[in-house]
Chain A
Amino acid sequence: MEQSEELIPHLFRTEYRKLTAVLTKIFGLEHIEIAEDISSDTFLMASETWGIRGLPENPVAWLYTVAKNKAKDYLKRNTLFEQKIMPHIQNNTSEIQEFEIDLSEQNITDCQLQMMFAICHPSISSEAQISLSLRVLCGFGIDEIATAFLTNKEVINKRLFRAKEKLREEQVKIEFPNSSATEDRLEVVLRTLYLLFNEGYYSSGKDVTLRKDVCLEAMRLTHLLLENKSTNKPAVNALISLMSFHASRFEARVNLNGETILYQDQNENLWNADLILQGQYFLNHASVGNKLSKYHLEAGIAYWHTLKQDTAEKWESILQLYNKLLQLEYSPMAALNRTYALSKANGKNEAIIAAEKLNLSNNHLYHALLGNLYTGIDTDTARSHYQAALKLTKSKADKTVITRNISDLDAI
């Protein structure tokens, strides 16, 4: 009995999304709730049955069989089937008994990929895309999604409901986009996966395990894109490379209390060498074609950060990568990081002039950067910037770091 209590949450995470993807493909995206209900019911039945009778020999096969039967029963019972769903079903068999639900590995993967394209539809917001991805593609519970987003269940339920409504309105189908649209649609998918990863990586949420799971899920979904010929593009390789380099620091960047450990204070021995190698491997594979995506540039930057030693070559390379990244797409974070790299490559004086032109004075990291740049040059100005940063930040981890910087100043 205890066995099934441990196994079911695990299987829920890995199998719920597969069942939902395959069933939604059959019912049509407009009936995604039916697919979700059948998948949930299957797990409910598993926890009841397995609790009493013990684990079946092959739990996954058991789940698939039950889900298939439930889907067939549903179709038999429901008149909806003939009126609405039947026209959607490709093979023109009118006999439900003959109707097959294909739960082969290939079909599961295809359905999940197609589902990914459907969810990452340009008609819904990135936030909604991420929430739907976590729910439908990653099998996260509503409460987990709420925790990840630092909000409550009600907000997430509403967001999911509205997103599904919108997809219905837009009559989004679960299918691969046609080849001429693949590039554009893939860009939206990559952006969502990138944001999903960042949601886990940079969230200030306390649940470290959950945050890591979010990152790993983003990586798993990116791997799905790599396994498919039509979506295995250089930008996808660059994205997984970027994720691998970041993920290599999982164990080193958070202490036992879930607090962030800054890069320069991290224990390099805790960096995951396999993930760094994986990052390099995919960065090499990304280096084909003539399109330089922001993921290429960010992966390049992340690569240099896997070398902890400060060298002129390292910071010059990082600076030039940020110069290119900002030309492709501006973000305050990239502007601040670029200015830090500028100070390392060209010196603090030049960086101070550049920093003061950034016009980000309501951003605490802007003041933290200037505090750093003025340290050793003008202690009073450094202190006042650090104090401004302290006032602007809400994050406890940031406050600790800034306070330490101020006391270091006093020691000078």
Chain B
Amino acid sequence: MKEFLFVFRNDHPAAHKGSPEEMQAVTKQWMDWIGGIAAQNKLVDRGNRLAAEGSTLKPGNVITDGPFMEIKEAIGGYTLVRAESLAEATEMAKGCPIFQFGGSVEVRAINPL
């Protein structure tokens, strides 16, 4: 088994619209999806959501507020899973609720140091 990182990217403002009931329904979908991965004993670390607040440092001591240069591609969170192959990890990502909101999941193999 190898470990893979799921990087969740979405359009921040779009993901946070909706009534409390709708938000609750989305939370349930995330919980059910993560729970399903955990039930296969393939969850390494549920990870976390990332707050909108942040800054980016560039050479020459250039600091910009927030990572939101291209707002549709902001990283919203991450999760660590284990799978036999990239293909299996990619298959696992298919159930992610993020696609309903135009987001994406980047699946990356971890290369242990």
Interface residue ranges, A against B (CB under 8 Å):
316, 319-320, 322-324, 326-327, 330, 334-335, 338-339, 342, 346, 354, 357-359
Q: Which residues of A contact B28 (CB under 8 A)?
A: 316, 320
Q: Which of A316, A327, A346, A357 contacts B40 (CB 8 A)?
A: A357
Task: Evaluate contact between B36 and A319: CB separation under 8 angstroms.
Answer: no
Q: In whole Å, how far is B10's beta carbon from the nearest beta carbon of chain A?
A: 22
Whether A327 touches B34, Cβ cut-off 8 Å, given contacts A335-B39, A335-B40, is: yes
Q: What are 8 contact pairs spanning A and B, CB under 8 A?
A: A319-B35, A324-B35, A326-B39, A327-B46, A335-B40, A335-B41, A357-B36, A359-B40
Q: In whole Å, how far is B97's beta carbon from the nearest beta carbon of chain A?
A: 13
Instruction: List which B16-69 residues lie within 8 A (CB) of chain A.
Output: 28, 31-32, 34-36, 38-41, 43, 46
Q: Which of A316, A320, A339, A346 contacts B39 (CB 8 A)?
A: A339
Task: Evaluate contact between A342 and B32: CB separation under 8 angstroms.
Answer: yes
Q: In whole Å, how far is B71's beta carbon from the nearest beta carbon of chain A?
A: 30
Task: Evaluate contact between B31 and A320: CB separation under 8 angstroms.
Answer: yes
Task: Evaluate contact between B40 and A323: CB separation under 8 angstroms.
Answer: no
Task: Evaluate contact between B40 and A338: CB separation under 8 angstroms.
Answer: no
Q: Which residues of A contact B39 (CB under 8 A)?
A: 322, 326, 330, 334-335, 338-339, 354, 357-358
Q: Other CB < 8 Å A-B pairs besides A320-B35, A324-B31, A338-B35, 15 of them?
A: A316-B28, A319-B35, A322-B35, A323-B34, A326-B35, A327-B34, A327-B46, A330-B43, A334-B39, A335-B41, A338-B39, A342-B32, A346-B32, A354-B36, A358-B39
Number of B residues with CB within 8 Å of any CB on chain A: 12
Task: Evaluate contact between A326 and B32: CB separation under 8 angstroms.
Answer: no
Task: Evaluate contact between A323 and B41: CB separation under 8 angstroms.
Answer: no
Q: In whole Å, how far is A346's beta carbon from the nearest beta carbon of chain B?
A: 7
Q: Please report the C-alpha to C-alpha distance between residue A320 and residue B33 in the assembled complex, in whole angstroms.
A: 11
Which single residue of chain B is at the shortest CB-CB distance from A338?
Answer: B39
Which single residue of chain B is at the shortest CB-CB distance from A346?
Answer: B32
Q: Please report the C-alpha to C-alpha distance between residue A358 and residue B36 in the assembled complex, in whole angstroms.
A: 9
- Kindly name the residue among A327, A346, A358 whose own CB sees the greatest number of chain B CB atoms within 10 A: A327
Task: Evaluate contact between B36 and A327: CB separation under 8 angstroms.
Answer: no
Q: Please report the C-alpha to C-alpha distance between residue A134 and residue B78 in the assembled complex, in whole angstroms.
A: 45
Q: Which residues of B contact A319 (CB under 8 A)?
A: 32, 35
Q: Please report the C-alpha to C-alpha distance between residue A330 and residue B40 in the assembled complex, in whole angstroms.
A: 8
Task: Evaluate contact between B35 and A358: CB separation under 8 angstroms.
Answer: no
Which single residue of chain B is at the shortest CB-CB distance from A359?
Answer: B40
Q: In whole Å, how far is A199's beta carbon from the nearest beta carbon of chain B?
A: 24
Q: Which residues of A contact B43 (CB under 8 A)?
A: 326-327, 330
Q: Please report the C-alpha to C-alpha distance between residue A324 and residue B28 in the assembled complex, in whole angstroms.
A: 12
Q: Which of A320, A327, A342, A346 contacts B38 (CB 8 A)?
A: A327
Q: In whole Å, how far is A376's beta carbon from the nearest beta carbon of chain B?
A: 22
Q: Please report the C-alpha to C-alpha distance between residue A320 and residue B36 in the assembled complex, in whole angstroms.
A: 11
Which single residue of chain A is at the shortest CB-CB distance from B40?
Answer: A357
Q: In whole Å, how far is B88's beta carbon from the nearest beta carbon of chain A?
A: 10
Q: Which of A323, A334, A335, A358 contacts B32 (CB 8 A)?
A: A323
